[in-house]
Amino acid sequence: MQTPKKIAVVGSGLVGSLLAIYLKKAGHTVHIYDRSPDIRKIQFSGRSINLAMSNRGWKALDGVGIGDAVREIAIPMDKRAIHLVDSLKFQNYGQEGESIYSISRGILNRKMIDLAEQAGAEFFFEQKIWDVTLSTATLHIGETERGEWDELEYDMVFGADGAFSRIRHRMQRQSMFNYSQEFLNLGYKELNIPANADGSHKLDKYSFHIWPRGEYMLIALPNLDGSFTCTLFMPFEGENSFASLKDRKEVEVFFEKNFPDSIEVIPNLAEDFFKNPTSTLVTMKCFPWTYEDKVALIGDACHAIVPFYGQGMNAGFEDITVLYEMILEYGEDWERIFSEYQNSRKPNADAIAELSYRNFMEMSSKTADDQFLLQKKIEKWFSEKHPDKWIPLYSRVTFSDRPYVEALAIGDFQNTIMEEVLKTDDIENMWNSEIVENKILELLQK
Amino acid sequence: MQTPKKIAVVGSGLVGSLLAIYLKKAGHTVHIYDRSPDIRKIQFSGRSINLAMSNRGWKALDGVGIGDAVREIAIPMDKRAIHLVDSLKFQNYGQEGESIYSISRGILNRKMIDLAEQAGAEFFFEQKIWDVTLSTATLHIGETERGEWDELEYDMVFGADGAFSRIRHRMQRQSMFNYSQEFLNLGYKELNIPANADGSHKLDKYSFHIWPRGEYMLIALPNLDGSFTCTLFMPFEGENSFASLKDRKEVEVFFEKNFPDSIEVIPNLAEDFFKNPTSTLVTMKCFPWTYEDKVALIGDACHAIVPFYGQGMNAGFEDITVLYEMILEYGEDWERIFSEYQNSRKPNADAIAELSYRNFMEMSSKTADDQFLLQKKIEKWFSEKHPDKWIPLYSRVTFSDRPYVEALAIGDFQNTIMEEVLKTDDIENMWNSEIVENKILELLQK
């Protein structure tokens, strides 16, 4: 336990709620502010990609003993179900028993807020924080941006208020603050596969479903109630784009042609397509993340990434794991805690941003490519024979807690090796031969 | 002449003033707002690098017939004077008769405001614009950010309000707005070489003086009154840094050791060093630059760059040249004018940002390197023999109006050629031989 501090967390999302639980564990008074209503009392907004919880997420939850409570609302997915236009293939994510877990963002957030309240954190909903005075950890709160504001003084403020963080907005106005936001020319839209009448799933429940089509793709993740949350990723403009699908007929024709096996399982396709918003995808980077021993950013507020590696929440939760390690190591020295936290996390946040950006290509194109599937098969085979010598990139990111920077660097090295290996004569038949095994072993020495 | 519009320009700096003159020429009502007092009525701030006006700047000034008025306050510099620790070398910038021009930012700005007023633009000083409503080109003006604001309605608003633009600040809060700001770990500080008692210059008047020392450097540009404005560029932290020079003694010892020939010409060294602020250097990029036919950013407000190519003002002035070309081409279609303007300028702004960033290394390190000076000598010799085949990078940027993107691409290509040429046996003596000439001609074919 540290000397108790009075701490404000801005943002009651997943990272804010979990951070509150950790800060309570460390002995502090914790107030959480959110501009939105209590998510436990409202309908969800209908523009969320389902979450894929993996090792880093579970580690952070288990660190405060709430992993099992969350496992109750999670569905394991041990493989990709790859829907080609004329066939269906499966590809395991990892070794036997390794899965990622589909969780509804809304259901998880409700659960996390319950758990944080049980831990003693106090929530203040529909309270709009517009600004922060960095040097005194004072929040400025009011009904409107241009109206009257009140001041709330704390010992410390955490900005867990997402990609468009107001806390970061103030930090941005300091000199020497590096910042970038970059939008993809790609949007996404939520669609829905309802449950069968008996509550069972219309597609394989334990798969991450993907319809890879190059410039665009459809994915579907299972929900507890038998439905799937689907997400269509597609360019805003161009030949196959949101702009090109202007009416119900065009949407239906497009899906019939390109996602034929989705037609019978998405009954409200055209209706949902025009009812649900088209959302944007942004990569946001910044530095520094902290101000003296007063203010720290965490999660999407300091490193928003695109969703193609399923690591956004996992990376945010890992921020908390690392912050808590620093608390254990540096005790009362909050300036040191903050500075070690940001220096440790920043390169890893940049690495997962890069990996996530690249992974759109992998998901939307390469999963439909036989060479790529062969490469994955060889990697899996070699990795099973030599688990000490080869952890596939996806596994290192998803099923380990090795640093993301290491995953990025070793992944690139492995790719150069596999490029060589795929040049082997008759590799389609030789892929699990001693020749290939020795070639990989030799290339690993270089 | 276009249909007259009521146009607001935010920012009375160099770009804002020149833009106002162009907009008057096109027949519009032009109001210019600035949060600062009229620069003609105050002392300068003492934290400005002198400007180096080159071809693109002159072209924009001559386009509205004010080049000659500005030439009266400019000093031509046809060469670099390179102050090594134990010697002085000169290096011409271009061909015979080609110079860049030293101008004091303050003196030029006063002149430009006079000229804009003469052209019929109206200036409103000490008027703080805090926000803009993009869809209606409405400015929000008031004493303080949190106080009462009034509204000013226009047909069109230009944000010429520099790297920390409030107009861009509003645009940044739109979805799909890409933005980055990145600070160098390098600061700068202004120092002064006063005139001799008779008003003459203490160093060669027609040179850009540079003391290249690797991680840091000193430069000096001539003023009309016989003085030089000096700028010290140095890391904030580390061995040779602003942080490492803590008292008068340390500053004096540092200058005696590293800039020995500067000691006798900078009499108030230590005093100025601690009196003058240490300023930061930022590269800022964004896109889009315009909003419908209502709002456009121009100059540093949309592409702030580091000063090492002397192109910041020149690039801003070239924005105006291009905007005016679009006005002449597209007449009343302001949405088209804005969209062609930003699409034409954005890649060039990115290119000069990159060239400027790279040029710190050239100025601070390579100008002290014999291989580099030899390379420049060969390029100059070859370019004089084959002016149609080789325009050196510096000349293309500085003495031409070829696009910056072209300069960047061809400059990289030329560098690969010169790398090969410098490998020639006995190149120090062979540099102007037929063998070298033929080698370059051959490499240019590839």
DSSP assignments along A103-155, one per residue: E-HHHHHHHHHHHHHHTT-EEE-S--EEEEEGGGTEEEEESSTTS-EEEEE-S
Contact A108, A51 (CB under 8 A): yes
CA distance A417 to A372: 14
Phi-psi region of B8 (alpha: psi -120 to 50; beta: other; left: phi over 0): beta
A-to-B residue pairs, Cβ atoms closer than 8 angstroms:
31
Fold of A6-45+52-73+104-181+284-359: FAD/NAD(P)-binding domain (3.50.50)
Asked if A176 has any chain B CB less than 8 Å from its own CB, the reply is yes
* A423 φ/ψ angles, rounded to the nearest 5 degrees: -80, -10
Contact B115, B19 (CB under 8 A): no
CA distance A336 to A387: 37
B182–A183 C-beta distance less than 8 A: no
A-chain CB neighbours of B178 within 8 Å are 181-183
Query: B129: closest CA among B31, B38, B34?
Result: B34
A175–B179 C-beta distance less than 8 A: no
Q: How far is A387 from chain B (nearest CA, A)?
A: 41
Could you tell me what percentage of chain B is helix, strand and coil, using 3-state DSSP and rounding each to the nearest 5?
40, 20, 35
Asked if A148 has any chain B CB less than 8 Å from its own CB, the reply is no
- Tell me the mean pLDDT in the region A17-32: 98
Element (H, E) at A378: helix A370-385
A183–B179 C-beta distance less than 8 A: no
B-chain CB neighbours of A178 within 8 Å are 181-183
Other C-beta atoms within 10 Å of B344: how many? 16
What are the tokens at B413?
């290509």
Of residues B47 and B281, more confidence is placed in B281
What are the tokens at B152?
């000013």
Asked if A175 has any chain B CB less than 8 Å from its own CB, the reply is yes
Asked if A179 has any chain B CB less than 8 Å from its own CB, the reply is yes
17-36 of A, contacting B, C-beta below 8 A: none
Residue located via tokens 């007929």: A249
Of the listed ranges A217-226, A318-327, B368-377, the one predicted with least confidence: B368-377
Q: How far is A337 from chain B (nearest CA, A)?
A: 22
Q: What is the ipTM of this complex?
A: 0.87
A-chain CB neighbours of B177 within 8 Å are 181, 183
Asked if B176 has any chain A CB less than 8 Å from its own CB, the reply is yes
A-chain CB neighbours of B181 within 8 Å are 172, 177-180
**Mean pLDDT rounded to a whole number for chain B:** 95
- Tell me the mean pLDDT in the region B15-28: 98
Phi-psi region of B3 (alpha: psi -120 to 50; beta: other; left: phi over 0): beta
Query: Which chain B residue has its CA at the smallest distance from A285's CA?
Result: B180
Q: Which residues contact B163 (CB under 8 A, 6 or more apart)?
A: B282, B284, B300, B301, B304
| Helical ranges in A392-433 per DSSP H | 393-398, 404-421, 427-430
The pLDDT, as a whole number, for residue A45 is 54
Residue A345 is given by DSSP the state: H
Domain A182-280 architecture = 2-Layer Sandwich (3.30)
The pLDDT, as a whole number, for residue A93 is 93
Query: Which chain B residue has its CA at the smallest distance from A282's CA?
Result: B176
* B119 φ/ψ angles, rounded to the nearest 5 degrees: -80, -10
Secondary structure of residue B293 in the 3-state scheme? coil
The pLDDT, as a whole number, for residue B48 is 65
User: Where are the strands (E) in A294-423, listed by range?
Assistant: 295-297, 303-304
pLDDT digits (tens, 9 = 90+) for B193-216: 999 999 999 999 999 999 999 999
- Tell me the mean pLDDT in the region A347-372: 92
B-chain CB neighbours of A182 within 8 Å are 178, 180
The pLDDT, as a whole number, for residue B234 is 97
Q: How far is B293 from chain A (nearest CA, A)?
A: 21
Contact A216, A232 (CB under 8 A): yes
The verdict on whether omega for the bond into residue A235 sits within 30 degrees of 0, i.e. cis, is no
Query: Which chain B residue has its CA at the smallest distance from A146's CA?
Result: B146
B-chain CB neighbours of A149 within 8 Å are 146
A-chain CB neighbours of B175 within 8 Å are 183, 280
pLDDT digits (tens, 9 = 90+) for A118-144: 999 999 999 999 999 999 999 999 999
B-chain CB neighbours of A183 within 8 Å are 175-178
B181–A179 C-beta distance less than 8 A: yes
Q: How far is B350 from chain A (nearest CA, A)?
A: 15
| Helical ranges in B82-162 per DSSP H | 105-118
pLDDT digits (tens, 9 = 90+) for B27-82: 999 999 999 999 999 886 545 678 999 999 999 999 999 999 999 999 999 999 99
- Tell me the mean pLDDT in the region B87-92: 94
Residue A338 has pLDDT above 70, yes or no: yes
The pLDDT, as a whole number, for residue B50 is 85
The pLDDT, as a whole number, for residue B364 is 85
pLDDT digits (tens, 9 = 90+) for A368-381: 888 999 999 999 99
The pLDDT, as a whole number, for residue B366 is 85
Asked if B274 has any chain A CB less than 8 Å from its own CB, the reply is no
The pLDDT, as a whole number, for residue A288 is 98
Q: How far is A279 from chain B (nearest CA, A)?
A: 10
The pLDDT, as a whole number, for residue A366 is 85
CB hemisphere CA count around B373 (13 angstroms): 13
Domain extents in chain A: 6-45+52-73+104-181+284-359, 182-280, 369-445
Q: Which residues contact B278 (CB under 8 A, 6 or more apart)?
A: B187, B188, B189, B236, B242
Other C-beta atoms within 10 Å of B231: how many? 19
pLDDT digits (tens, 9 = 90+) for B222-245: 999 999 999 999 999 999 999 999
**Binning pLDDT at 50, 70 and 90, where does residue A48 land?**
low
Asked if B182 has any chain A CB less than 8 Å from its own CB, the reply is yes
B183–A179 C-beta distance less than 8 A: no
Contact B430, B422 (CB under 8 A): no
**Binning pLDDT at 50, 70 and 90, where does residue B119 land?**
very high
Residue B438 has pLDDT above 80, yes or no: yes
What are the tokens at A1?
């336990």
Asked if A124 has any chain B CB less than 8 Å from its own CB, the reply is no
The highest-level CATH class for domain B6-74+102-182+282-359 is: alpha beta
